[in-house]
Amino acid sequence: MKHLVSRSRWLLVAALSALLAAPASFAASAALGEAAPDFTLPDSHGNQVSLTDHKGKTVILEWTNHDCPYVRKHYNGGNMQALQQDMTDRGVVWLSVISSRPGSQGYVEAAEANELTASRDAHPTAVLFDPAGDVGRAYGATATPHMYVIQPDGLLAYMGAIDDKPSSRASSLDGAHNYVRAAMADLDAGRPVADPQTTAYGCSVKY
């Protein structure tokens, strides 16, 4: 009996230790057709940027990690920059969000973020830092890239992959159906977004 009690206590301690060691799970609060979660994050120029700053405008959120092969595919091929340029030229706000924790893949300081923007000829409205991962978790961002389109009324209209080619190969850009561009075309035409939610592909967000 004493042996059984000791073993039971050991199992309980082991279970509690495993529970404490496991990463906390967070329920995403972002949902299609509902108000996108508000946030305030610092950008690469030292400003505090809130989603509510851009009320009345379409906002695109791009979760990114410059070291991720899937992200590199879109930037090395010029695909992401072209989309950024097209959208921002139309007055759309494009916010690139980095949720990599300090010391993990994709984590950068402000100076490196600005250098990356310049060297890749990228065109985001701002690059935002979310090292604690709170905003990424609120949106349920799981991969880089993970894309979101927020309507001028603040409702979430699209969430998911950038396109339908879940590959890191540059050749996969040819003939890819860009979900973000398609969602914007639907919104511009006053139509419901045909594919409002898809499964994001890429590297896991380094929370």
Reduced to 3 states (helix: H, G, I; strand: E, B; else coil), residue 190 is coil
pLDDT of residue 28: 80
Q: How far apart are CA 129 and CA 3, in angstroms?
A: 53
With 60 as the cut, is the pLDDT of residue 132 above it?
yes
Domain coverage including residue 127: 28-204
Total structural domains within the chain: 1
- pLDDT band of 27, cuts 50, 70, 90: low
Q: Please compute the mean of the pLDDT values over residues 144-155 and round it to a whole number.
A: 98
Q: What is the CA radius of gyration of the chain?
A: 20
Q: Please compute the mean of the pLDDT values over residues 103-107 and round it to a whole number.
A: 98
CATH (domain of 150): 3.40.30.10
**What does pLDDT average to over the chain?**
90
